[in-house]
Amino acid sequence: MPRFPLLADSASSLSDRVFGGTGQRTGAVPGRVYPLNVGDTYIDPLPAAQAQAQTTADHPRMHNYSPVQGEPVLLDAILGKVERRSGVHLERELVQVMNGATSGLGVVCTALLAPGEEVLLPSPFWPLIRGIIKYRGATPVEVPLWTRLGEEDFDPVAALESAITERTVAIYINSPHNPTGGILPDQVADGIAELAARHDLWVITDEVYEDLWYHDAPPRSLWTRADLRERAIVTHSVSKAYGLAAARVGYTHGPAGAMEVIRGVQTFFTYCAPRPMQLGAARALSEGDAWLAEARAAYRKAAATTASALDLPMPQGGSFIFFPAAPYLREGEQTADLLQRCMDAGVMLTPGTSSGEAFGDWLRICFTSVPQRELEEALHVLRGVLFPA
Ligand SMILES: Cc1ncc(COP(=O)(O)O)c(C=O)c1O
């Protein structure tokens, strides 16, 4: 039915202000503003991976289309990287290069979900995933989980199971996790794998922080479990660990039948990722192990500094710490007011509402977006707001 000037229902709740409204009054803040709200890095990528290192002398026709599946040299680098990181040799056909994980997850959701279907979305979650599910016309069903994992009488698998309806087709899992910095415990992974099998669910795994872990050894990649291999659609990115967010390059893999459809959908989304940056990403993945180890050490230190400044536990991975605002509120104050006070003092944080409807009174801080010395300055400022003398 014609409905001009109304737009599609599935898009009308989307907004570029998904990370919250605190950006509104930045212009009014005098002096330095520390952007601890954005999940980015201050570290320049491996020189060989940078945009200016890719030349037409080395790569004639660099500005032409790539094959839909991806640049052959990048596909080689991905197969090598997956084998080194997760100990699995993937068939080349099962890999699809994406325009970053944001677009990649959009392609995956378009391939897996039909309008009206539901996805279990353990919350809190990466702010964009809710909108990605919604623009497909599907419904994200938020299940508070990550912040409750330490509670003695909380059963995460039962919580997920009670949210399943006849319309549920998938569950989204991101570990290491944005925003809590948690890693899914093996026992919970066991339960989720069993739940997915029992209810015939797809498992959409988001591995963008797979290389940002702060214990002694990398956590096991969820998708490598034998009980998930045939139902996990896995998305990775070079944005986080390799400092290449502007490249917009990621990759997805999964079972053969699903990947054929996913490749078909990607053809109609963007056809291919930017060729120059696929070439850069290939260099990062194949030559960037030492660079990555150094970046991880710097982030580990930043994580420890942030946790200790805020008297919070050390995150296990990722770029963020997530914490309740309540202890820091003045009498009669709302979380939005506290965020504004942080901003007025010069520190931008992300409101918890971006990560789920149950998290309006939580805050997210990113510890990878500014260099260590600036992070320490920012934390000093933030302590002045959160722990007034
Ligand atoms: C959990 C998670 N998934 C996906 C993405 C998107 O990554 P990309 O830059 O590859 O689009 C992010 C970025 O913040 C993220 O935190």
Q: From edge to edge, which strands make up the β-sheet containing 350-351?
A: 320-324, 362-366, 350-351
CA of 252 to the centre of ligand 1 (A): 13
In which band, very low, low, confident or very high, does the pLDDT at 26 lie, cut at 50, 70 and 90?
low
pLDDT at 27: 58
Mean pLDDT of the 323-333 span: 97
Q: Is the C-beta atom of 102 inside 6 A of ligand 1?
A: yes
CA 164 to CA 186: how far, in whole Å? 22
pLDDT at 21: 54
DSSP 213: B
Residue in 99, 102, 123, 205 to alter for ligand 1 test, most ligand atoms within 8 A of Cβ: 102
In which band, very low, low, confident or very high, does the pLDDT at 133 lie, cut at 50, 70 and 90?
very high
Reported as a single tens digit per residue, the pLDDT across 269-312 is: 999 999 999 999 999 999 999 999 999 999 999 999 999 999 99
**How many residues make up the chain in this entry?**
389
Structural domains for the chain:
9-44+290-386 (3.90.1150.10), 48-288 (3.40.640.10)
Strand, coil or helix: 192: helix
CA 314 to CA 51: how far, in whole Å? 34
Label the pairing between strands 34-35 and 95-98.
Answer: unpaired
Residue in 132, 146, 240, 367 to alter for ligand 1 test, most ligand atoms within 8 A of Cβ: 240
In which band, very low, low, confident or very high, does the pLDDT at 172 lie, cut at 50, 70 and 90?
very high
CA 333 to CA 320: how far, in whole Å? 24
Reported as a single tens digit per residue, the pLDDT across 29-66 is: 677 899 999 999 999 999 999 999 999 999 999 999 99
Mean pLDDT of the 341-355 span: 96
Neighbours of 336 (CB within 10 A): 16
Taking Cα atoms as reference points, which of 165, 162, 128 lies closest to residue 145? Answer: 162
Strand, coil or helix: 202: strand
Q: Is the C-beta atom of 238 inside 6 A of ligand 1?
A: no
pLDDT at 25: 59
Instruction: For residue 39, give the ligand 1 atom closest to its CA.
Output: 14
Hey, whose CA ends up nearest to atom 4 of ligand 1?
Answer: 101
pLDDT at 1: 87
CA of 207 to the centre of ligand 1 (A): 9
In which band, very low, low, confident or very high, does the pLDDT at 206 lie, cut at 50, 70 and 90?
very high
Taking Cα atoms as reference points, which of 385, 82, 117 lies closest to residue 254? Answer: 82
Q: What is the phi/psi pair of residue 173, to 5°?
A: -130, 130
Q: Is the C-beta atom of 245 inside 6 A of ligand 1?
A: yes
CA of 208 to the centre of ligand 1 (A): 6
pTM: 0.96
In which band, very low, low, confident or very high, does the pLDDT at 106 lie, cut at 50, 70 and 90?
very high
Burial string for 92-127 (b: 16+ CB within 10 Å, else e) reads: eebbbbbbbbbbbbbbbbbbbbeeebbbbbbbbbbb
Instruction: For residue 101, give the ligand 1 atom closest to its CA.
Output: 10
CA dihedral 292, 295, 299, 302 (to 10 degrees): 170
Instruction: For residue 250, give the ligand 1 atom closest to its CA.
Output: 10
Mean pLDDT over each residue of the chain, to the nearest integer: 96
pLDDT at 171: 98
pLDDT at 103: 98
Residue in 97, 222, 239 to alter for ligand 1 test, most ligand atoms within 8 A of Cβ: 239
Q: Is the C-beta atom of 175 inside 6 A of ligand 1?
A: no
For residue 281, what are the CA distances in angstroms to 76, 205, 256? 11, 21, 24
Q: Which tokens in the block code for residue 21? A: 């409204």
CA of 234 to the centre of ligand 1 (A): 13
Q: Is the C-beta atom of 178 inside 6 A of ligand 1?
A: yes
pLDDT at 28: 60
Q: Which tokens in the block code for residue 40? A: 């980015």
pLDDT at 199: 98
Q: What is the phi/psi pair of residue 184, to 5°?
A: -60, 120
Whether the predicted pLDDT of 319 surpasses 70: yes
Reported as a single tens digit per residue, the pLDDT across 10-24 is: 888 888 887 765 554
Secondary structure E strands in 139-201: 139-144, 168-174
pLDDT at 215: 93
Q: What is the phi/psi pair of residue 94, to 5°?
A: -85, 0
